Amino acid sequence: MRDEASIAAAVAKSIELHGRLDVLVVNAGIVRQDLLVRMSAENAREVFEVNTIGAMMAVKHAAKVMNRQRSGSIVLIASESAHTGIPGSSHYTGSKAALGGFMRSIMWEYGPRGIRINVVEPGPTETDMLAQLTDENRARLLSSIPLGRTAQPAEIADVVYWVSQSTYLTGAVIPVTGGEGFGA
């Protein structure tokens, strides 16, 4: 995601294999856990390059193809932490929050050409990132989720698929959090 040429090549390969590009899902994300006072510019730069700039470049190259087709669906995977924050992850939450603003501009640029763009914001999901939690932090996290559990990746994928196929949905930010972030 830090190499625009690789992103362009992936889009070109998709066109070569399938003849068109109907859906782009940008699900890249890295985190470099650190408090702001200890955060290096290099770590912050790397997180923004992958999570934000890489997403922008993927949309740029996919939208060129979708623009010619006059149709397409783009789904950006952000994070519910863009609204709630995570101590020690300000660069991650900032990079994911930026995707919402980016989406709001792009929907105006490409909506008239039949291209829809939306953001899905997963809450805690059983991924490698979550596997790093201590038992104490996991218990604290579960107590903040009304459903009392974390999401499985397939549950997030179900929403992403639905969003990608919705023909009149654009400019939406869809939280998939089990209710986390909506309580007291």
Radius of gyration of the chain, Cα coordinates, nearest whole angstrom:
17
CA distance 117 to 72: 9
CA distance 46 to 138: 27
Active-site residues, by number, are 92
Helix (H) or strand (E) holding 77: strand 72-77
- In contact, 26 and 59? CB cutoff 8 Å: yes
CATH value of 4-176 in 3.20.20.140, 3.40.50.720, 3.30.540.10, 1.20.1090.10:
3.40.50.720
CA angle in degrees (0–180, nearest 5) for 151-156-119: 125
Q: Print pLDDT tens along the chain (184 aa).
A: 999 999 999 999 999 999 999 999 999 887 887 888 888 899 889 999 999 999 999 999 999 999 999 999 999 999 988 888 877 888 889 999 999 999 999 999 999 999 999 999 999 899 887 888 888 988 988 998 999 999 999 999 999 999 999 999 999 999 999 888 765 4
The CA-atom distances, in angstroms, between 83 and each of 6, 24, 95 are 31, 24, 12
